[in-house]
Chain A
Amino acid sequence: MTLEDIIKETKTYYCLECGKCSSLCPISRHNPSYSPRLMLEKALTGFEGDLINDQELFSCLTCYNCSLKCPADVDYPLFMQKVRTLAFAQGRYGVPADSGILQSFMRLMLNPAIEQRRLEWLSDEYRISEKGNILFFVGCAPYFEFAFEDFEAGALNIAKDSLKILNTLGIEPMVLADEKCCGHDLLWTGDVESFRKLAEHNARIIKESGAKKIIFSCPEGYRTFKFDYPHYVDLDCELQHITEFLAENMGKGMLDFKEVKKKVTYQDPCRLGRHLGVYEQPRKLIEAIPGIELIEMEHTRDESICCGTSAWTNCDAYSKQIRTERLLEAKATGAEMLITACPKCQIHFRCAMVSKGEEKGPDVEMDVMDIVNLVASALEDNGSE
């Protein structure tokens, strides 16, 4: 694919140069050397080399804040994704966070001889079935659990609680031991070839399992399966995020919530919100728990601010500023707890709270919890009654 094709596909030539994107961009607000408008202009005026070698090319969060407000409907995040493919082909891949340990794991998974033991956390507590219609896609949780052990990101608890909730609903989903990374991060950093291999692997084993419906607890996996896999593999399954699934099944009276007295606020993950348009279901779910008061932040729903890094790339001081700002906004609501629906949001926010060195920023300490954990904690004890 050439730059010209990319411009056509993402409708970049419609750009009015109004600069709305740059004024809305969470990165641009903190990092003066990054501007979406400038990126587009470089592409449109033929400075392909400048664009590909731009050190900020991998800074974009692909959070879709710009695109939703663009009067010309330019798909800027998609433009970024495709231009990064060009850049990757020339050996550029941004600055990987944590010196690339997570990317290394994703690429190690490409090795066909790898036989993962990613389900060792599954105890008898959780009921799963060998064959069935519903599949629960665990995602990277087992890896995140150990990579971010230091600040107790609890990624695995999300997977555990998801299974617990599904069991409460009488569903015993399949869980695949050999599922691999969905490829989201590699795709968004331009490594299409590796992405294709991961997608083909996942599509193959899901087909073999005979699943009709896949439930995700991670919005990134959901997005990737829904929008990106169809371009590479043929997978005919119904896809749902766990909040959508629960909101749908709430009326059946099987979810018997006990009271949780808490003021909470909700962070819309960019993948679940702006990418997939799931705004109502998580809120419906939170509000269904008696005693919970949901207070919205200043920027919410489609104006919600991203957690500061995407695809484990270019995580820098600006990312931390974005997180700090977002956490302060959450605290300003008076809520005791920040609820999110993406394991990465939680990891990023918790990381921002761990103050490093002597420079102490504003106090951003706050409870962060995944919506799945909240729902599971509200269901607790009820089973024994």
Chain B
Amino acid sequence: MRNETQVKKSGFEPKILAFCCNWCSYAGADLAGTSRIQYAPNVRVIRVMCSGRIDPTFILRAFQVGVDGVLILGCHPGDCHYIDGNYKTARRIHMLKKMLSQLGIEDDRLRLDWVSAAEGKRFASIINDMTERIRALGPFVR
């Protein structure tokens, strides 16, 4: 995407925004914390009641204000506290990804994944993996 960014890349620390649902992923993040699992400090977590609450506009807004990657974490399919909120999220993110690709925004910058309340380790590994991918992509320059 950007030549100047290749230069800057060395000292680059990605800024990642993670939306976590209250019932599974946020509890999973808590578990990662209480279990003292170490993970990359590049993530800022926003708690929402359900991943279905996340409007595509929130994600676009995040990119607009200079976030390098957005992570959406919800309950595993079938486990949604509100029955089908995460299915709706999956559909929305699917649509949004297609639109973002038109804008030339790399696929890896937006990721949807599922983390249950018992998966502290999984939470940490997703954050680490996402951070590494974004680090490889470089900053999303404004």
Contacts and interface: CB of A to CB of B under 8 A. Distances in A.
B102 A116 contact: yes
A271 B95 CA distance: 29
Interface in B54-74: 55-57, 60-61, 63-64
Contacts of B101: 117, 120
B103 interface: yes
Nearest to B142: A111
Nearest to A141: B102
Given A105-B60, A118-B102, A143-B102, 13 more contacts: A99-B55, A99-B56, A99-B57, A100-B57, A104-B64, A105-B99, A108-B60, A117-B102, A117-B104, A118-B103, A120-B101, A146-B95, A147-B99
A138 to B, nearest CB: 11
Contacts of B104: 114-117
A152 interface: no
Question: Chain A interface: which size bin?
Answer: 20 to 34
B61 A104 contact: yes
The majority secondary structure among interface residues of chain B is helix
A114 B103 contact: yes
A233 interface: no
Given A99-B55, A108-B63, A146-B95, A113 B1 contact: yes
Contacts of A212: none
Interface in A133-153: 142-143, 146-147, 149
A109 interface: yes
Interface of B: 1-2, 5, 55-57, 60-61, 63-64, 95-96, 98-99, 101-105, 140-142
A101 interface: yes
A120 B100 CA distance: 13
A107 interface: yes
Nearest to A100: B57
Nearest to B4: A113
Given A99-B55, A104-B57, A107-B64, A113 B141 contact: yes
B142 A113 contact: yes
Contacts of A99: 55-57
A120 B135 CA distance: 27
A146 B99 CA distance: 6
